[in-house]
Amino acid sequence: MTDLNILGISGSLRAGSFNTALLRNAQKHAPAGMTVSRYEGLADLPHYNQDLDNEESRPESVTRLRQAVADADGLLIASPEYNYSIPGGLKDLLDWASRPAADSVLRHKHVAVMSSSPGAFGGVRGLLSLRQMLLATHSHVVAKPEVMVFGVAQRFDDGGNVTDEMTINLLRELLSALHDQIRG
């Protein structure tokens, strides 16, 4: 049996993003039989515009995104919370990936979601919004465990490594749940 190919997507464009760091930690703590790679094209995607979503006008960055999602066995999305929701760039990524709805590369794709935040809630409201969007795409979202890393200053070192054992264990459990859901 070949390794599962998981595409990690950070919803943050910030160079020092804790959500991108969380994805790097997921790469380190992935279970045997799973490889997590990172999607690096979020900043290259334009706002979703249906007028551009055709063979003649579709941006190359969108074609690359859709191919990367289609090639992945599953997705791992780490997103900050902006105004009780997700960042606009991640929303555009989901909009591009979800079209056309009938053959969307997100349709029936297995997805795990997580967030991190300096605040006390760990991005919980953003994850609720993200889960709601993924329902619309007919994606299969891992229900448990819920990984919402709060108080990131106490859980990451200066190099972006998770130092908190509880967080590392939750990350491992989430990846194992995604693995088991895909292999189901």
Q: For residue 149, what pLDDT is reported?
A: 96
* d(C-alpha 134, C-alpha 108), whole Å: 10
Q: Which residues in 31-69 are b (16+ Cβ under 10 Å) and which e? A: eeebebebbeebeebeebeeeeeeeeeeeebbeebbebb
* d(C-alpha 136, C-alpha 163), whole Å: 35
Phi, psi for 43 (deg, rounded to 5):
-70, -20
Burial class of 95 by CB neighbour count within 10 A (0 to 12, 13 to 18, 19+):
middle
10-residue averages of pLDDT along the chain (184 residues): 94 96 97 97 98 97 98 98 96 97 96 95 94 97 96 95 96 98 96
85 three-state secondary structure: strand
Instruction: Record the tokens describing residue 74, joined without a space.
Output: 């599953």
* d(C-alpha 162, C-alpha 106), whole Å: 29
* d(C-alpha 2, C-alpha 19), whole Å: 28
Spell out the domains of the chain, with CATH numbers in brackets.
4-183 (3.40.50.360)
Q: For residue 50, what pLDDT is reported?
A: 96
Q: For residue 2, what pLDDT is reported?
A: 85
Instruction: Record the tokens describing residue 1, joined without a space.
Output: 């049996």
Q: For residue 1, what pLDDT is reported?
A: 72
pTM: 0.97
Q: For residue 134, what pLDDT is reported?
A: 98
DSSP readout, 6-27?
EEEEES---TT-HHHHHHHHHH
